[in-house]
Structure 1
Amino acid sequence: MAMLKTILGNLLRPSRTRAPADMPVVPPTYRGALTHDAGRCTACGTCAFVCAPKAIHFTQEPGVSVSWHFFIGQCSFCGLCEQNCPTRAIHLRADVPGSMNSASGDGLRLESVIRLQPCTRCGAAHVPLPAATMDALWAAGADEAERGYCPDCRRWAASARLRTAFIPDGAVAEGGRHDR
């Protein structure tokens, strides 16, 4: 009987559409609008790899820049891109995705451009590591010049440090040095 009363009560009332000010409170764990910080991004591609619906992809202009692209229409808001980003460049805010602003102006696409910088050792163009990552990698006793190295030169410098730690100074031949 109570159900019949509820049905009749709803039928006799006028229909009502929720006003924008009447929206329910968004919980803090809500995964909504995505933001990307190009200053923290290393263009490693992890976010694009874990994105099952392929909402994230990269394009590259060789020697100049790498562009990060996101299309909200393909996003499932699973949060894997945020969880797996090694530099924490991606965040899902508790905002409704339709309120996003983007460079293209439609609110559905985001693009961030990451400029390449020359290596301070060999001159090869590479994506610089964010300052927080640099501080974590070179916490103590590191050569300040190594902060501008490309990945190949960082590997070379790490192996050179290992060589000098285990082999006396005079025993290492200069012929094994990595130069470009």
Structure 2
Amino acid sequence: MFTFSIDTQTELRLLETRHAPELFKLTDQSRQHIREWLPWVDMINSPADSGKFIDLALEQFRQNNGFQAGIWYRGELAGIIGLHQISWTNKSTTFGYWLGEQFQGQGLMTAACRAIIAYCFEELHLNRVEIRAAAENKKSQAIPERLGFTKEGRLRQAEWLHDRFADHYVYSLLKDEFRSASS
């Protein structure tokens, strides 16, 4: 199973079926906060719904096509980060993330993203990682900007968000850029 220690208080762990109640609780507590940018929130109405997501994520992991990990802070589930899928041919992936409202402002997501990037380049030997963020979601955009990603462009009307289409910005980081940034 995937586990990645970030610091003494924070780690990333692959989600397991037994985490469904805790994941549902975090989703439900943060529902209004995360709903603006995450259209799937309205489909999560019970721990069983969170369990279905985890089952799909475990299958994704079994197929060697990415994973979904919990961000655990001081033993508590704080958010989710994961690879949407991996293009082994192109040695690239796109990843996404969300954090419970009560855990924001502590640098947890930046640290989790930094860990995922290192894992992608050093363990999976990928060449490119990508983050997409809604054009109006300044908090989500701040992460790749803080981590030295290149803002490549804008995807017009890339996602249906409840009652409207949202544009996305595409950010990327290449393995060579990661090496020079971490040297």
TM bracket (short chain): under 0.3
Higher relative helix content: 2
TM-score by length of 1: 0.25
TM-score by length of 2: 0.25
Higher relative strand content: 2
